Each structure stands twice: as structure tokens, then as C-alpha cells.
Chain A
Amino acid sequence: DSGVTQTPKHLITATGQRVTLRCSPRSGDLSVYWYQQSLDQGLQFLIQYYNGEERAKGNILERFSAQQFPDLHSELNLSSLELGDSALYFCASSPRDTTNIQYFGAGTRLSVL
């Protein structure tokens, strides 16, 4: 158990809908990262938050957004969902903002039908 908690574990929804994925980092970690993993792609970095502020942005679509709250948990919002958004979404956390080991949660499996 990495100490990173993601909910829900599974999510099934329809095209055009909006969902929210939640992540609680390890105790004491200030950074949260979001990754997308689909079958034909590797793990793709989406976005990083550090102590409530956006720190780095990767291949995140405009339909996706994220935030980190004062208690350091983070949410990833996916809207106008398309079939191609079906993937495993992982959250990771680390103590600081740079050059840290990232510890991954178990992921949320999103199925868009």
C-alpha cells in the first residue's frame, strides 16, 4: 500500500458526461500528480500540483481540469467525455515539488460507453 488513496476504483459513464476523480496523497506529501494510461499509450503525465498551486502541465486536454485543495487532496475533472477517454487514471504524490520519488495510487478505471 503506497498510502495514496484514489476513489472511485471504477467508473462507468456515457459520452458527453462529466466525472470527478479524487486523490488523497500520502500523509505529509505536498505534491500531487495525475497520469492517464490507455492501452495503446504509456503513462502520460497530465498535471502536477504543489501545495495548492499548479506546478507543471503535460498533455492535459482542455476538457480536463484539476485542483488541489487546502487539505492537499486533489480532484481531476473530466468533462464532455469521449470514448477515447476510457483509461486508467493514476494519481501520485511526493513530499516536495521536484526530483522526488513519486508514489502511485491504485488508479481509477474509467469506462466511457
Chain B
Amino acid sequence: GQNIDQPTEMTATEGAIVQINCTYQTSGFNGLFWYQQHAGEAPTFLSYNVLDGLEEKGRFSSFLSRSKGYSYLLLKELQMKDSASYLCAPLQNGYALNFGKGTSLLVTP
């Protein structure tokens, strides 16, 4: 089974830094993905963590603590185009991505 918890909505200012947290309980855990989804569009891959620690990729970083069932996505130098939903997705048994309901991020001027 799986249980994923993310904040429903967040608001941040252009140029700022925002951290989106995700806690999960997933059997057969094989890593955690973060996807970005603009309204009505396909999810796009942002990051994948399989080991504990921080993975940095440009303005986006993702952190994983497997023992705590916790991950976060850090977005720096926010831009208006970063307004989207951010989906935390633990990988279960190597196959299925179990998506949370996502965090809707609004970036304001």
C-alpha cells in the first residue's frame, strides 16, 4: 500500500526559494520521483532519488531520507513559468509510480 502527503497549495514570489515537502509510506520502495505538471498538460520528469541525500540539477534540487519516508523539492530563483503542480511519486516494487495529489505552486510577481 501507499500513503503520500504533500501540501495542497503554496504561494511564493518570483526570484524567491520554495521547498515542497513530501512524506510517504510505500511498501516495496525503489526510489522517489518528482514531476512537474502544468494544468491540462502531461507530467514532466524533474528528478529521481534512490539514495539518501541531495540531488542538484540547475535551479531544482531534491532530497530524500528513506528512513524518515521524507523528500523535498527545492526550487530556487523562482520564475513565473514555475507556477504548476509538483507531484511526489514513490516508486513501488520497481514498477508503478504512485502519485500524490500534488502541490499547486503559484508564483507571484
Report A's interface with B, CB cutoff 8 A: 2, 4, 33, 35, 41-45, 48, 55-56, 58, 88, 90, 97-99, 101-107, 109
Q: Which residue of A lies closest to B91 (CB)?
A: A99
Q: Which of A4, A56, A101, A106 contacts B96 (CB 8 A)?
A: A56
A32 CA / B15 CA spacing, docked (Å): 38
Residues of chain A within 8 A (CB-CB) of B100 are 42
Q: Which of B30, B94, B97 contacts A102 (CB 8 A)?
A: B97
Cβ–Cβ contact B94 & A101, under 8 A = no
Q: How many of chain B's residues touch chain A, expressed as a range?
A: 20 to 34
Cβ–Cβ contact A98 & B41, under 8 A = no
Residues of chain A within 8 A (CB-CB) of B95 are 48, 55-56, 97-98
Stretch from B18-26, B43-51, B56-64, B74-82 that touches the partner = B43-51
Residues of chain B within 8 A (CB-CB) of A58 are 96
Residues of chain A within 8 A (CB-CB) of B96 are 33, 45, 48, 56, 58
B41 to chain A: closest CB distance in Å?
A: 7
Report B's interface with A, CB cutoff 8 A: 30-31, 33, 40-45, 48, 50, 87, 91, 93-102
Residues of chain A within 8 A (CB-CB) of B44 are 2, 104
List 13 extra interface pairs beyond A43-B87, A45-B96, CB under 8 A. A2-B42, A42-B87, A42-B101, A44-B99, A55-B95, A56-B95, A88-B40, A98-B30, A99-B30, A101-B33, A101-B48, A104-B42, A104-B44
Cβ–Cβ contact B42 & A106, under 8 A = yes
A97 CA / B95 CA spacing, docked (Å): 7
Cβ–Cβ contact A56 & B93, under 8 A = yes
